[in-house]
Amino acid sequence: MNAYTVSAGDLWSLAPEIWLAAVGSLILLLEAFAPAMRRAWTLLALIGTVGAGWLVLNCVPASSTFHGEIESSGVTAVGSIIVLLAASLALLASDGYLRRENILSGEYHALMLWSAAGMTLMLRATGLLTVFIALELLSVCLYALAGYHRRIAVAAVGVDHAACLVGAHEVRLQLQNLREVVDCLGRIAGAAIAGAAVEVTDIHLLARQASAAHHPSARGRARAVLCCGAAR
């Protein structure tokens, strides 16, 4: 069995998502260690979305990477640009509201960038597990953003807790569906392999008996079974 290898092309295909995650983490670290720079978070987040858009257009190869788990093409590039444009507009539109409500912090911008990373990854995911990981990255950040304004969340009788409970139930259902799909595929593959093994065993047994007996009718039956097997 060949070992799973990750090439440089695979990593370059994830350059926009890696950049968004890195900028979001940087904003969160600066929020903890340099809170005086708080007014620059929106500008830094916009640099993250613009940089991710440049990477999508110039550095992501139009090919299949990670052994077919991620597919990049012109259509996915257009979708990624639309997602990044929407995230940039949301950051610009919410800046005044965050200042007015006195809730401007790096958490909001980091969550926005991470949710955009999950959305762009889900656009290009082709495998079921990759889609699930991208969906969880997107949804968990959106659950946190739903309860970001804590005063409104408390006044609304814990909307953030309700969102988290709904999200947890959704994750449980998705995991259950994923397990059922994997079990079904395993049963189908096992039945197909077992049927092919029995058929090949019967063909070889008849051919061996015909060769040992040198009987024309036996050879004819073996030849017929071989022809049927090839036709299948």
Task: Identify the weakest region by mean pLDDT among 57-71, 96-110, 142-156, 212-226.
Answer: 212-226
Asked if 38 and 105 touch (Cβ cutoff 8 Å), the reply is yes
User: CB-based burial of residue 207 (10 Å sphere; 0-12 exposed, 13-18 middle, 19+ buried)?
Assistant: middle
Is the pLDDT reported for residue 29 higher than 50? yes
Could you give the CA distance from residue 22 to residue 27 in angstroms, rounded to a whole number?
9
Residue 7: C-alpha distances to residues 10, 66, 101 (Å): 5, 8, 46
Q: Per residue in 99-132, pLDDT tens?
A: 888 888 889 999 999 999 999 999 999 988 888 8
Question: Are 120 and 83 spatial neighbours (Cβ–Cβ below 8 Å)?
Answer: yes
Q: Average pLDDT, stretch 121-150?
A: 87
The pLDDT confidence band at residue 60, using thresholds 50, 70 and 90, is confident
157 — pLDDT class (breaks 50, 70, 90):
very low
Say what the pTM is.
0.66
Q: At 2, phi and psi to the nearest 5?
A: -75, 140
pLDDT digits (tens, 9 = 90+) for 191-207: 666 555 555 565 556 55
Q: What is the mean pLDDT of residues 39-62?
A: 92
Whole-number average pLDDT of the chain: 78
